[in-house]
């Protein structure tokens, strides 16, 4: 880290040591786990547009394409392991420094690292919901069923997206069979919020409550391009909660940030975890 970043990390470390921190994490936190984010450091969207709720529910052909691609993508998402950033956040929570943890990610890696009471704004790819009966089931069970229904499916993904979708030529999707709900025969969907779908009100309300009770809102790995995450920064500013952002590259939160660190999370967060422990020992 250069000297400016070292100074910024030291300042953030002091805020973290005071406690009362609410973390809002985005896709950039999971890139070191092998899951790409939606945007590169330039802030430009990657080539593939994420699936929309309207397309998934209204177009059976598009839904079949999605499940074929997602079936491949789960091989990456399902095997991903928490990185040093996820583990650092879990340690902060264990030490009582966090007031809350909100994530825009759907990979479940915060929980895999040991974090608790995570507000998953956009859901979790490891859960499957039925759009007809509302039943929930595990992704592992669905993957076994999809594999059995498509024994000759041998396509290879060229790239995986943050939502578990992949880039795949349409020619490789021919003949892919989608399975239905075992309880009612209804349409299955990952228990995640697609573009064009509304985040459940109880999750938004809980996130606003956490922000209102925070000393610091710490944004990790989010460009804050969409209002789904940026609204919590705007609420923090309105309520006098200071805002710190650690993100690689462009972020739309810059005008609202009291502290902005443009540096790799895999470098900054483990250093924060170590510095915070030293800080706490010196205060005892």
Active site residues: 122
Question: In whole angstroms, what is the distance from residue 128 CA to residue 143 CA?
Answer: 11
For 49-115, the DSSP string reads PPPBHHHHHH-HHHHHHHHHHHHHHHHHHTT----HHHHHHHHHHHTT-EEEEEE---S-HHHHTT-
Are the C-beta atoms of 246 and 220 separated by less than 8 Å? Answer: yes
């Amino acid at each position: 880290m250069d000297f400016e970043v070292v100074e910024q990390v030291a300042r953030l470390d002091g805020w973290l040591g005071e406690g009362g921190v609410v973390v809002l994490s985005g896709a950039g936190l999971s890139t070191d786990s092998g899951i790409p984010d939606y945007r590169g450091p330039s802030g430009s969207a990657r080539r593939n547009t994420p699936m929309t709720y309207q397309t998934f529910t209204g177009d059976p052909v598009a839904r079949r394409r999605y499940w074929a691609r997602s079936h491949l993508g789960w091989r990456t998402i399902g095997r991903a392991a928490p990185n040093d950033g996820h583990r650092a956040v879990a340690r902060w929570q264990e030490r009582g420094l966090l007031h809350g943890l909100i994530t825009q990610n759907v990979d479940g890696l915060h929980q895999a690292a040991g974090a608790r009471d995570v507000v998953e704004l956009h859901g979790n790819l490891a859960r499957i919901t039925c759009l007809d009966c509302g039943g929930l089931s595990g992704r592992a069970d669905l993957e076994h069923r999809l594999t059995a229904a498509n024994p000759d499916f041998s396509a290879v993904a060229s790239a995986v997206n943050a939502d578990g979708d992949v880039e795949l030529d349409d020619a490789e999707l021919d003949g892919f069979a989608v399975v239905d709900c075992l309880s009612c025969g209804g349409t299955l969907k990952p228990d995640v919020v697609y573009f064009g779908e509304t985040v459940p009100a109880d999750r938004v309300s809980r996130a606003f409550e956490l922000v209102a009770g925070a000393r610091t809102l710490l944004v990790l790995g989010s460009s804050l391009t969409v209002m789904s995450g940026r609204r919590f920064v705007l609420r923090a500013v309105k309520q006098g909660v200071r805002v710190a952002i650690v993100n690689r590259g462009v972020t739309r939160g810059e005008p609202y940030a009291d502290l902005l660190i443009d540096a790799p999370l895999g470098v900054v967060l483990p250093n924060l975890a170590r510095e915070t422990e030293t800080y706490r020992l010196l205060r005892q």
